[in-house]
Structure 1
Amino acid sequence: MDIVGWTLVVLLFVIGMAGTVYPVLPGAVAIYLAFFVYGWFFSFGEFDIFFWILQTIIFIVLFIADYAVSAWGVKRFGGTKASVWGSTIGLIAGPFVIPAFGLIIGPFAGAVIGEMLTGASFEKSLKVGWGSLVGLFTSVVVKIILQSVMIVLFILWLVF
């Protein structure tokens, strides 16, 4: 059973990290769930209240930062709520519509279309689309860092 437990924990960590770049996967949720899987297979004894508070804070910050950083990129480049919504829709739908490049084209096109629907010029809409990509890439970096911190804290808690 130890092999099954560790396999599930590692698999959830991999899914979590893959979720940083592929929004359909439950990134932070998978990593958080790995802690419970470990507890169910082995023991919750290694994790004190400080561990759970720290991990939960990081988990919540991840969700807030994910949306806030992406929206920041669009807004920083002059986008409106319509372009934020368009970018978000493009981020979710893009990988399904254009499997190989949809993760990049989707948010960009969504932001451009959203901004053009508000009556903005094509040039401004392109600028906002670029902002959506800046926000997306910044968000990915933030998620990679925070999710890596979650995993490292888990390992440190087990070792020490």
Structure 2
Amino acid sequence: MSAGLLWALSALLIVVGVAGTVLPALPGTAFVLGGIVLGAWIDDFTRVPVWVVVLCTVLAVLAWVLDYVAGLMGARRAGASKQALIGAAVGTVVGLFMGIVGVLFMPLVGAAVGEYLARKDERQALQVGVATWLGIMAGLLAKVVLAFMMIGIFIVALVF
């Protein structure tokens, strides 16, 4: 395969990865990392050294962890019950089948329903649902920022 085709594939992986940071069911930072690794490999890690790939890998792992932990941290901070956490997880899975709106808002609904079933307190249920949603949004924002940091580090290493 020619170097031009490989560079095009590297760029495509990165673009799909950026889209995947906000779209459901696409492992965004994994695609970005794949594009970076491919780009570094194309010229035998001469312009993009191994330490850059390692740094981008660390950022990708951090983004993945934050994506999963942020919603739980928001729920825990609001004093969520175990049922609320299960509800948020169920809401996330159900939301995957509803598109971007479902992915963004079904964890809130699931957490609120789970909390209401556990404590029969509407105010607490709403508070837990909103806190879970805010945590998920913070995780999403962190994932997007980390993906762009990865891309920036890659571009700087590639160009300079």
Residue aligning to 2:25: 24
Query: In structure 2, the residue corresponding to 1:101 is in which secondary structure?
Result: helix
RMSD: 2.0
Residue aligning to 1:35: 36
Give the 3 Å change call, closer, same or farther, for CA 64–102 of structure 1 in structure 2: same
- Unmatched tracts of structure 1, length 5 or more: none
Between the aligned partners of 1:82 and 1:56, the Cα distance in structure 2 is: 34
- Detail structure 1 runs of 4+ shifted over 3 Å in the superposition: 39-43
Is the CA contact 1:23–1:91 (under 8 Å) kept in the aligned structure 2? no
- Unmatched tracts of structure 2, length 5 or more: none
Query: In structure 2, the residue corresponding to 1:46 is in which secondary structure?
Result: coil
Is the CA contact 2:14–2:34 (under 8 Å) kept in the aligned structure 1? no
1:134 aligns with 2:134: yes
**TM norm structure 1:** 0.86
Task: Kindly tell me the number of residue pairs found equivalent between the two proteins.
Answer: 159
Between the aligned partners of 1:68 and 1:100, the Cα distance in structure 2 is: 19
Aligned pairs for 1:81-96 within 5 A: 81-96=82-97
Between the aligned partners of 1:33 and 1:100, the Cα distance in structure 2 is: 24
Residue aligning to 2:76: 75
Between the aligned partners of 1:131 and 1:6, the Cα distance in structure 2 is: 42
Is the CA contact 2:36–2:53 (under 8 Å) kept in the aligned structure 1? no
Query: In structure 1, the residue corresponding to 2:99 is in which secondary structure?
Result: coil
